[in-house]
Amino acid sequence: MQTKTTVPLLDLKLQYESLRNEVEPMLQEICDSQYFALGPKVVELEKEIANYVGVTRAIGCASGSDALLLALMSLDVKAGDEVICPSYTFFATGGAIRRLGAVPVWADIDPVTYNITPESVKVAAQNCSRLKAIMPVHLYGQTVDMCGVLDLASELQIPVVEDAAQAIGSKDTTGAMAGSRGNIGCFSFYPTKNLGGFGDGGMVTTNDDALADRITKLRVHGGERRYYHNEVGINSRLDALQAGVLLIKLQYLEAWHAGRERNAAIYNEIFSASENCLVFPRFLQAPARHIWNQYIIRVQGDRRDALRDHLSENGIGTDIYYPVPLHEQECFADISGKPLPHTEQAALETVALPIFPELESQQVEYVANTIVDFLT
């Protein structure tokens, strides 16, 4: 019999307490300067992120959602164009495409990694007549098969926009960082991410100076200098306060990745020793790297929701990412496409468990054993 305890899905207060003495003086410094939008802190963060990801340019913006929108705008995606992306993803992926009047073309996912595959992208591309880009999502912190996707994109002669909102620090099978190999990479600094700010924030990465210069212009209403505009952009400046917080947190990111990896290993060890209807993550070995933005299990046999209720009764927080795939959302009802069986099944069976790095090993063991006991 285990002693009942409380394990939240995420507790950001623990991380803040460890950084309070660094963050609060920095906030005061920015308040004293009264330099809040863009500015030196943002420039410094852009340089640090470019260096970390392994690209030549990084451009800060107001959110990960805006990063996707700016990327597509810089590639001249227009109304009626088609962009291939997964349906099993956060809304912003498909939303950015639709905001420009373009059409999301849904690709199914691999049932183990939850990412789209070169094969599913190829299937999705078969009926496209105005295909403008591929937007793979590195879901949960594990990269897409970038070698395969880039080969296909080259064959189709279209650019690749990496939605790396959940994947800063992830590496693909070549050891390259997420967001470094496509034409453009897009990151989110929403507070729940491995590198999260004190609100919304985003970053666009690229090795293409022309794209970087255009995105830099598009984020300030399309003007290269104040009050002079040669195209219509958006207002998407990264705040100096967010940049300051992220510069501090970036120093600890690798240690936090290691903490999440440690917790994932505990889950995997306990789950692998149990025979039940549970499917837990398998992932590629080094140089590929999973940074565990989420730890997702699958519960088969229509037991997922009952398990969540049981975990809640035992003080354990969970969530579902994502209960309704984009192709089943009301706002996309007019978009037809091929069936997406793996996507639809994942939406019915997946559940996210606590994985944040401040968890104690005993808490992780408690979660895992509570699940095993219920499903046995």
Encode 124-151 in three state secondary structure: HHCCCCCEEEECCECHHHCCCCHHHHHH
Structural domains of the chain in order of their starting residue, each with its CATH number: 14-250 (3.40.640.10), 253-375 (3.90.1150.10)
Residue 275: pLDDT band with limits 50, 70, 90: low
Residue 179: pLDDT band with limits 50, 70, 90: very high
d(CA 317, CA 140): 17
pLDDT score of 21 more than 80: yes
CB 343 within 8 A of CB 86: yes
- Check residue 278 and give its pLDDT: 74
- Check residue 283 and give its pLDDT: 74
Average pLDDT (184-193) is 98
pTM reported for the whole predicted model: 0.95
Per residue in 264-273, pLDDT (tens digit) is: 999 999 998 8
Residue 280: pLDDT band with limits 50, 70, 90: confident
CA distances from 114 to 1, 255, 280, 347 (A): 34, 25, 12, 10
Average pLDDT (112-131) is 96
How much of the chain exceeds pLDDT 90, in percent?
A: 88
Reduced to 3 states, what is the DSSP secondary structure of residue 6? coil
Report the chain's mean pLDDT, rounded to a whole number: 95
Rounded to 5°, angle at Cα 266 from 263 and 305: 85
pLDDT score of 47 more than 70: yes
pLDDT score of 1 more than 90: no
Average pLDDT (179-198) is 98
Average pLDDT (50-54) is 98
Per residue in 128-174, pLDDT (tens digit) is: 999 999 999 999 999 999 999 999 999 999 999 999 999 999 999 99
CB 224 within 8 A of CB 217: yes
Average pLDDT (211-223) is 95
- Check residue 277 and give its pLDDT: 64
